[in-house]
Amino acid sequence: MSTKSSFHETVVTITNQDGFTLSSDKFPFETTLSLAPLVAYWEKKAASDPNCNLARVRELANLLRQKPELLEPIHNLAVIDKNIDTVDILMEDIFPSALWENDLKAAVLPFHFESFYATPRLEELQLLGGENYTERLSIDQKTLLFRQTLSAYTLILDKFYNANFTVDKPFIFTIKDKFTMLERHYKLDIDLKFMEVKAKGDIKKLTAQEINFLINRYNNLDLWMQKIPPQNFEFSGFAIYDFTDVTNEETISSLRYDLLDKDSVSSREGFENLQQKLRVLFNLPDIRLGIASCPAKQEFDTNFARKLWNGLVLTNSCNLKLEDLDSSIYDPVIKKGHTIVVEDLKVFQNATPVEEDLLNAGVRNLIIAPLQFEGSTIGVLEIASPIPGELNALSTIKLKEILPLFALAMNRSMDELRSSIQSIIKEKFTAIHPIVEWRFTQAAINLLDKTDRNIRAEIEPIVFKDVHPFFGVSDIRGSASERNKAIQGDLLEQLVLAKEIILAAKEELDLSILDELLYKLDKFSQNILNELTSGDEGIVLEFLREEIESLFPYFQAKSPSMAAPINLYRLAISNPYKAVYNKRKAYEESMHKINETISNFLDREEHKAQKIFPHYFEKYRTDGLEYNIYIGSSLLNNKHFEPIYLKNMRLWQLMLTCEIARRIHKLRPSLKLPLEITQLLLVHSEPISIRFRQDEKKFDVDGANNIRYEIIKKRLDKATIRGTEERLTQPGKIAIVYMLQKEAQEYMRYIEFLQSEGYVEQDVEHLEIEEMQGVQGLKAFRVKVNMQDELRHNIETGDELLAIAQSATLN
């Protein structure tokens, strides 16, 4: 029977060692070593290969006639040893003499790990043979038996039932190098062309449905053994085992896996594990690893930074400060992002105390490399050796492969310490914007196609070139100071309520301690009025709970008249925070209402703007709201892009920003705290490339030339006007930041149109922006938004920003 037409090739990937069923405790099939398939190979070669050396084949035939025992099943390996000269000739096509000394190859009994013929180098490594081969494979005997049995059944299905599926799980052997005592990894490839399976008696027939039923239950080999009894088959011949050194690949893969662990660079155990794997990667048993964070300057000398200092000299217990690294070998790494290789620290000129500390630690030779994330150096990685010259410039080639892995791990650890910024748990997958979903689908299909063809591959990079960026920010002015004022007000109110209770107690109770409590309450109030520091809130609340609130039961027991002020106090703190939360609640509700108003309006109008030209859009909540828009033909599947779409989008963005300002202005009277917003737009006329980053699950600029755009975005929130301390962004105004004169000319035309529509007033401020770190030469327009109720266009009565922008096309 043939089931070939009913089945495609199915790949079965073994992903774990649990969950399978196999009652047998030994390989259930009969196996026999035989050289008959090899002899048949030579006979076929003599008959079909015109280049075959027939004289050599005849010589081999004569030898075999004299050694008939080699043509029979071999039950004793002594037969091989006795006739090794003839076996050498039989094996010369499989084991070419030119590769004999260097190959890692062996001929092995069917489904065993004992070789009867192997290259010298393989025998020297002792990868095969012995009783502990399962330890070298890092799997238990039961799992190995399951995999061998399943592999045997794949051959039976192929030959007798014409239904193919493949077990895709390579064997990786791990041994220790006898010189370095470091782990080496070898991947095993198995060639079965000299092994055959034979049926003993009639073959039990199975329908296509029965075969499919078994394949879908590949874990249950007891079921397979019932349907296809192993005693009905035998395997004869031998397998060719070919080993490849994959130490680098396995080590990097293992490093990648380890660095996903949140404790990989911060825990002692994780750090030592990484260090050992780097020793394996570089094949140097005595090298040492060092990792240290290098956050912003204001954080460098804090305990925050030192939590991630596990370096050679930058340890969490060292006394070094940022200025101590000036002029040292760390200086160009931290400040310029250079990688430094020092062949011998002992002959290093102009040594500083830092180099002396390294020498005292036994370091003579080292590499220091920057860990960079989003264009910034966030840490340093050190690899050091006590032997001069052991690490050199060639070592940095391997280092380049792993630096991004360490940088990502360092960034994640720093993010976890900044737990107030974001959660430490990230979603495995991210929502994909509908506009670019086609490209992710295409990449997934390509990956599946390669997998179906047994081609190992990773997801291809997602890059969109020549897209035009838009960036806008609506920020709540003075949010930090407003938050502090709210905390300050709530604390003062709670202190006043507490003071009323103590004053009432003094009228009823003659206790000197009450005067001391009044003194503390007044002192706290005065300090908070003068200045609220970061720790004041916790100190005050702790005092109130431990020294004031704890007295309430005593006061009420002594004097029933105390119930009234105590009940007022308890009512004021009857919320989840157990503290007065009136002004903070007003602040938070007002900020939430502003953000919701902006976000909802932006979502609504942006959805409509997709009609101008489909584009990528993303927004982020901060104390206000910021957004990115990317537009360009590469974002779309087979759609042409015209410059007119870009002009429409720029005009639309300006009108949108004006409408946001007007809406928040109307909203202010209804807010419990009348917060104000400031707005800023960044103009960037040159197209950029963006790449989807698998680690961050988001798009970011791609390429060094585009990094400046990202740097400018991050700096603008603190921008001031040149020669003054005045902030660029001001309530009721829109700041439009640009770099090139052609951008200024284009946006002046848009501003003139907005003036004609009544969106902005006539005065336009032309400003230069004070230089910022890494950013200079920026200029800006600043226009005041017309907050009057009536405009010629009213989008609430049906007019559309989209239609207005399209009607005002500027060529």
pLDDT digits (tens, 9 = 90+) for 720-764: 999 999 999 999 999 999 999 999 999 999 999 999 888 999 999
Q: Are 15 and 138 in contact (CB under 8 A)?
A: no
Rounded Cα distance between 267 and 272, Å, is 9
Span 640-656, average pLDDT: 86
pLDDT digits (tens, 9 = 90+) for 299-324: 444 444 566 777 887 877 777 776 77
Tokens linked to 597: 């108003």
Of 256 and 7, more confident: 256
Q: Is the pLDDT of residue 588 over 60?
A: yes
Span 354-380, average pLDDT: 86
> Residue 680: what pLDDT?
94
The pair phi, psi for residue 451, each rounded to 5°, is -65, -40
Task: Give the Å distances, CA to CA, from 478 to 523, 676, 727.
Answer: 28, 8, 11
- Comparing 58-72, 104-118, 134-148, 345-359, which segment has the lowest mean pLDDT? 58-72
Of 245 and 303, more confident: 245
Of 18 and 727, more confident: 727
- Comparing 39-48, 272-281, 599-608, 651-660, which segment has the lowest mean pLDDT? 39-48
- Give me the percent of the chain exceeding a pLDDT of 70: 87
> Residue 607: what pLDDT?
86
pLDDT digits (tens, 9 = 90+) for 417-456: 554 323 322 332 355 677 777 777 667 666 656 665 677 7
- Comparing 440-444, 498-502, 541-545, which segment has the lowest mean pLDDT? 440-444
Q: Are 179 and 167 in contact (CB under 8 A)?
A: no
Give the mean pLDDT of the chain: 82
Task: Give the Å distances, CA to CA, from 108 to 32, 41, 75, 115, 708.
Answer: 11, 17, 13, 4, 60
> Residue 767: what pLDDT?
93
Q: Is the pLDDT of residue 101 over 70?
A: yes
> Residue 808: what pLDDT?
60
For residue 519, what pLDDT band results from cuts at 50, 70 and 90? very high
CA dihedral defined by 297, 301, 306, 308, rounded to 10 degrees? 10
Q: Is the pLDDT of residue 2 over 50?
A: no
Angle at 159 between CA 157 and CA 164, to 5 degrees: 45
pLDDT digits (tens, 9 = 90+) for 33-43: 988 888 888 77
> Residue 745: what pLDDT?
93
pLDDT digits (tens, 9 = 90+) for 664-699: 999 999 999 889 999 999 999 888 888 887 766 777
- Comparing 54-58, 208-212, 559-563, which segment has the lowest mean pLDDT? 54-58
> Residue 749: what pLDDT?
92
For residue 705, what pLDDT band results from cuts at 50, 70 and 90? low
Tokens linked to 522: 């007044």
Q: Is the pLDDT of residue 10 over 80?
A: no
pLDDT digits (tens, 9 = 90+) for 123-138: 888 888 766 677 777 7
Residue 809 bridge partners (DSSP): none
Rounded Cα distance between 650 and 682, Å, is 11
Q: Which H helix or E strand runs over 748?
A: helix 741-757
Residue 682 bridge partners (DSSP): 471, 737
Of 47 and 112, more confident: 112
> Residue 305: what pLDDT?
54
Span 249-267, average pLDDT: 76
Q: Which value, in Å, is the radius of gyration of the alpha carbons in the chain?
A: 38
Q: What is the DSSP letter of 625?
A: E
For residue 471, what pLDDT band results from cuts at 50, 70 and 90? very high
> Residue 407: what pLDDT?
85
Tokens linked to 686: 């040159």
Span 237-248, average pLDDT: 87
pTM above 0.75, yes or no: no
Q: Is the pLDDT of residue 568 over 80?
A: yes
Rounded Cα distance between 379 and 404, Å, is 11
- Give me the percent of the chain exceeding a pLDDT of 90: 19
Q: Is the pLDDT of residue 506 over 70?
A: yes
Strands 677-682 and 733-738: parallel
Task: Give the Å distances, CA to CA, from 732 to 196, 334, 619, 677.
Answer: 84, 41, 22, 7
Q: Is the pLDDT of residue 793 over 70?
A: no
